[in-house]
Structure 1
Amino acid sequence: MTQVEFVAILLLGSNLSPVVTIYDALEIKLLPAFEVDMSQVVVCALYKFVSLPHFESIQKPLLNVMIDKDIKGTLLLASEGINGTVAGSQDAIDDLLNWLNTQPGLDNIVHKLSFDDDMPFYRTKVKLKKEIVTMGVEGIDPLKVVGTYVKPQDWNALISDPDVILVDTRNEYEVQIGTFKNAVDPKTNTFREFPAYVKENLDPSKHKKIAMFCTGGIRCEKSTAYLKEQGFDEVYHLEGGVLKYLEEIKQEESLWQGECFVFDNRVAVNHDLEKGQYDQCNACRMPITESEKASEAYVQGVSCPHCIDSISDKQRQRFEERERQMQLAEKRGEAHIGSDVKSVIQIRRSEKESLKQAQLELNKK
């Protein structure tokens, strides 16, 4: 990866959601691409709900391990546990998991591995948070109550039961590119909206069996705990999430339809857990297909069919200027990293609200 490409990535933002990218990095480490064998990049999604009263003290040593092993990506630490996705060589990921296994409370972490030809992250971060996955409901504790875990091998039988309501707990932009057959789409924009969906659409006296799933399993830890707290009795969730299902279930036996959205620069993975067909609009962050990129509504770095009618003239001008500067930098074959990093982050922070507004307007359409 060239310096020009690195700055371009900083300008465009990491693909953590169609609206919000991660800001306030603990540390940005600029590394030449050759420090990771790009033909064997291992992507590791991991999480564990566990009481971590000492979580702040883990931040620095964990970051040091990641930097030392040339691992990139983001890990979140909170009093309720750890969550995140990182990438590096197989040896590096093994070393990280082994190190975590030696830390009090962090042994036997749930993790899923996938592979890519390119490094899907460009920075190394460990962040301290209030929650490792944000639902916005106080008192929900998966360590106290949670739904019934269902192995991928048993999932098909469960969701084929006509008495089971299958709910996709992910956001609408994720559901659009792939989901399980007959799954209900709550049409949420963020996980914070899920409790409202439950209150308005599900009734414990009517809906006796509910099965839920998400990308890696972590959102279902909280969503099933929430439903149990609301009086629902039979609540199930896919252990390891969609990624584990795709890993363990043969495609000819699979009930999964489409691709699975992932929160990194791959955008989506197919049933073989390889990078899929989707790209991402750099204006609204929505996943887009090659046919959508061929649309008149698509202008690289400026708009796509999803957002062309919701972006303001001011936003359009800013996106056009950003794209123009990137193209000029690429033609010059130069980039001013170092001193520009802070200013780039400031630009991205200021654009965060604009992107939110664009997405809100899009959702009203």
Structure 2
Amino acid sequence: MNKPYSILLYYCYTPIEDPEAFRDEHHLLCLELNLLGRIIVSAEGINGTVSGLKEDCDKYMAWMKADPRFTKTDFKVDYSDKHAFTKLHVRYKPEIVHSGLTHIDPNKRTGVHLSPAEFKDMKDKEDVVVLDVRSDYEHSVGRFKNAVTLDIENFREFPEKVNELKEKYKDKKVLTYCTGGIKCEKASAFLLEQGFENVYQLHGGIIKYGMEAGGEDFEGKCYVFDNRVAVDVNRVNPKVVSRCYVCNTESDRMVNCANPVCNRHVPICENCGHEMEGACSAECKEHPEKRPYDGTGYYQKEMNGYNPLKGFNRKKKTDVQI
């Protein structure tokens, strides 16, 4: 049976002249199409992951493709029985992915884009190193076999690691990868700027590699930023690489600690999840602010006063050309 909902993952580096005005226009479009998810708009482009009924997502993609600024957008599309989000956030920020590398324009210079098939063909060669540019909690639950991973809590720490990478791998062909490709755009460009000569990136990231190359040699699950938390990628030679943070048994069940002050992203097996009430430690289990555990280990981010309807009076659909 066909699943009625689509989940879209996408980004596009493209100049947006008045990003805050575009953010308002784009937000209204998402409201009219009943989309939920997270979208970041900036002067350098757009970065989003949303869910909605298939026909509404198709309209959204058609609207984007019809705009010359976003014609090149590569949508990764998955399907679901329900929404992958519970709320809509469309925000203006200085960057579409926080890196601190604001001087880099991926449209001018970045690593060579490899299709999933090309990446698969190159990744095991002797003169190649495969570099995971994601955060530690992401690669802890899944990563390519033999990949170099970084001890970073977020992507903005990536530039600090380049000097030690240069000492080991400057003369290698460096194949970067991330979830959907967006981090690699600036990561690969920065590596080139720092003197690396042969830099490549997996176009479409892990998600597209799973769709087009069967996910071969991606071990574990791929961390995603929606209610699913982590998804299967490898249909060829799957393997679990993570262990329960509490009892150390093999587990790829990724959760957020129920203590919001901790909020650690870690694998916790189902038994420990229920025993610890979603907490990662005894201290977190007893924390007075601990959130109720519903068995998933996923908690919606606080709105912090953000109101998706602020400034909009649910304008008629005729106000937006869909």
Normalization by structure 1: what TM-score?
A: 0.70
Which residue of the partner structure matches residue 317 of structure 1?
288
Contact 2:33/2:56, CA 8 A, preserved across alignment:
yes
The root-mean-square deviation of aligned C-alpha atoms, in Å, is 2.7
After TM superposition, give the deviation of residue 288 of structure 1 in Å: 2.7
Helix, strand or coil at the partner of 1:130? coil
Contact 1:41/1:115, CA 8 A, preserved across alignment:
yes
Contact 2:277/2:285, CA 8 A, preserved across alignment:
no
Contact 1:204/1:232, CA 8 A, preserved across alignment:
no
Which residue of the partner structure matches residue 270 of structure 1?
232
Which residue of the partner structure matches residue 4 of structure 1?
none
Deviations 1:86-126 (A, max 9, x none): 00011111101111123241223121011222311111221
Match of 1:304 among 275, 280, 284: 280
Q: 1:108 to 1:201 in 2, by over 3 A?
A: closer
Helix, strand or coil at the partner of 2:100? coil
Helix, strand or coil at the partner of 2:200? strand
Task: Give the aligned residue type for 1:317.
Answer: P
The 2-side partners of 1:126 and 1:217 are apart by 20
- Structure 2 residue 45 is matched with structure 1 residue 81: yes
The 2-side partners of 1:287 and 1:115 are apart by 25
Q: How is 1:129-278 mapped onto 2 (pairs within 5 angstroms)?
A: 129-203=93-167, 206-250=170-214, 254-271=216-233, 278=253
Which residue of the partner structure matches residue 314 of structure 2?
none
After TM superposition, give the deviation of residue 295 of structure 1 in Å: 7.7
Q: 1:285 to 1:69 in 2, by over 3 A?
A: farther
The 2-side partners of 1:224 and 1:192 are apart by 14
Helix, strand or coil at the partner of 1:242? helix
Q: 1:198 to 1:179 in 2, by over 3 A?
A: same
Contact 2:218/2:234, CA 8 A, preserved across alignment:
no
Which residue of the partner structure matches residue 65 of structure 1?
29
Helix, strand or coil at the partner of 2:69? coil
The 1-side partners of 2:268 and 2:252 are apart by 7
Which residue of the partner structure matches residue 312 of structure 2?
none
Match of 2:267 among 270, 274, 288: 288
Task: Give the aligned residue type for 1:318.
Answer: E
Contact 1:204/1:231, CA 8 A, preserved across alignment:
no
Contact 1:204/1:233, CA 8 A, preserved across alignment:
no
- Structure 2 residue 80 is matched with structure 1 residue 116: yes
After TM superposition, give the deviation of residue 312 of structure 1 in Å: 10
Report how many aligned residue pairs link the two structures. Answer: 279
After TM superposition, give the deviation of residue 292 of structure 1 in Å: 6.1
Query: Which segments of 5 or more consecutive residues in structure 1 lack a partner in the other structure?
Result: 1-37, 327-343, 349-365
After TM superposition, give the deviation of residue 45 of structure 1 in Å: 0.4
After TM superposition, give the deviation of residue 174 of structure 1 in Å: 0.8
Deviations 1:249-276 (A, max 9, x none): 135xx11111110001100110279xx9
Q: 1:97 to 1:206 in 2, by over 3 A?
A: closer
Helix, strand or coil at the partner of 2:70? coil
The 2-side partners of 1:154 and 1:346 are apart by 43
After TM superposition, give the deviation of residue 82 of structure 1 in Å: 0.5
Q: 1:289 to 1:318 in 2, by over 3 A?
A: closer
The 1-side partners of 2:220 and 2:109 are apart by 32
Q: 1:346 to 1:59 in 2, by over 3 A?
A: closer
After TM superposition, give the deviation of residue 231 of structure 1 in Å: 1.2
After TM superposition, give the deviation of residue 299 of structure 1 in Å: 2.2
The 2-side partners of 1:88 and 1:295 are apart by 31
Which of 1 and 2 has higher RCO (CA within 8 Å, sep 6+)?
1
Which residue of the partner structure matches residue 241 of structure 2?
none
Q: 1:346 to 1:105 in 2, by over 3 A?
A: closer
Task: Give the aligned residue type for 2:185.
Answer: E
Q: 1:240 to 1:345 in 2, by over 3 A?
A: closer
Task: Give the aligned residue type for 1:258.
Answer: G
Q: 1:293 to 1:115 in 2, by over 3 A?
A: farther
After TM superposition, give the deviation of residue 216 of structure 1 in Å: 0.1
The 1-side partners of 2:234 and 2:277 are apart by 31
Q: What is the aligned-residue identity percentage?
A: 31
Contact 1:120/1:265, CA 8 A, preserved across alignment:
yes
Helix, strand or coil at the partner of 1:58? helix
The 2-side partners of 1:277 and 1:245 are apart by 20
Which residue of the partner structure matches residue 242 of structure 2?
none
Task: Give the aligned residue type for 2:288.
Answer: Q
Task: Give the aligned residue type for 2:280.
Answer: C
Could you tell which deviates more after superposition, 256-265 or 115-124? 115-124
Query: Which segments of 5 or more consecutive residues in structure 2 lack a partner in the other structure?
Result: 236-250, 295-301, 307-322
Deviations 1:64-88 (A, max 9, x none): 2111111111111111100010000
The 2-side partners of 1:196 and 1:292 are apart by 38
The 2-side partners of 1:108 and 1:144 are apart by 15
Task: Give the aligned residue type for 2:222.
Answer: C
